[in-house]
Amino acid sequence: MKEATDVFNHWAHLGKDEGMERGHASAVNEMIDVAMERVLTDRVAFSAVDLGCGNGWVVRKLSQHPACVEAVGYDGAEHMIEKAKEVDLINAYHCAKFPDTKPDKTYQFVHSMEFLYYLKDPKNMLQSIHDDWLEKNGWAVIGIDHYAEHEESLGWPEALDVHMSTFSEEEWIQMWKDVGFQEIHAWRANAHDGKPGTLAILGKKS
Ligand SMILES: C[S@@+](CC[C@H](N)C(=O)[O-])C[C@H]1O[C@@H](n2cnc3c(N)ncnc32)[C@H](O)[C@@H]1O
């Protein structure tokens, strides 16, 4: 099977990152709105990091929030990061592979869309998000389109020739509990007209 980062590096060359941005925007907007209600409950400003940020569009979106003091993106596809840096000289973008990469600081808000299930051991990454990336009392929100109840998505690993870790909604939620997240909330973002929507999960590091 191909490496996910190689596939998405190629997608960036083909301009398919922009299609992903359009396709993910509604769910991500909803995820950020729901998360911000919690993030801004006990603070007036927040720092944010987007893991598997692609071309960095969510980093730029977060940086425009009036309460955001820092927004940073990480992705393992070199050309995604090159594209992010071409259009944005203000926010920081890092080309880095997970799960090996650990941050040199913690953040108050971790966002990730359509990244976690490309890893062989997503629970290990979720543990690292909780332990290494998040500040105490910080919040994470993660969006997943490939899950057992989304039948159409079960054909994606073969279609893309890329590894995807497949879990049910209940298994994903249990993972969040196991790694120590509190105040977990899970819902289907952007579910409409019979479409299953994005499995969105958020939680707090207490
Ligand atoms: C489906 S894309 C989503 C990109 C972006 N979050 C968005 O919504 O447009 C998945 C991203 O995860 C990155 N990725 C996948 N596996 C990775 C790994 N092991 N380390 C770092 N990045 C990875 C890919 O390079 C790709 O940009």
Tell the residue nearest (CA) to atom 1 of ligand 1.
114
What's the CA-to-centroid distance between 52 and ligand 1, angstroms? 4
Token pair 């993972």 in the structure block, residue: 175
Can you tell me the mean pLDDT for 157-173? 98
For residue 11, what pLDDT is reported? 98
State the Cα–Cα distance between residues 88 and 9, nearest whole angstrom: 19
- On the question of pLDDT at 50 being above 90, the answer is yes
Residues 195-203 have a mean pLDDT of 97
pLDDT for 159: 98
CA 115 / ligand 1 centre spacing (Å): 5
> The domain 4-204 is classified under which CATH number: 3.40.50.720, 3.40.50.150, 3.40.1790.10, 3.90.199.10?
3.40.50.150
Q: Average pLDDT, stretch 118-144?
A: 98
Cα 123 from Cα 170, distance rounded (Å): 14
Q: What is the DSSP letter of 100?
A: T
Residue 80: closest CA among 58, 53, 106: 53
Cα 5 to middle of ligand 1, angstroms = 7
Residue spans per domain, the chain: 4-204
Q: Residue 42 above 90 pLDDT?
A: no
Pocket of ligand 1 (CB under 6 A): 4-5, 8, 20-21, 24, 52-54, 75-77, 80, 97-98, 113-115, 118-119
Using the mean position of ligand 1's atoms as its centre, give its distance from the Cα of residue 6 in Å: 10
Tens-digit pLDDT profile for residues 55-106: 999 999 999 999 999 999 999 999 999 999 999 999 999 999 999 999 999 9
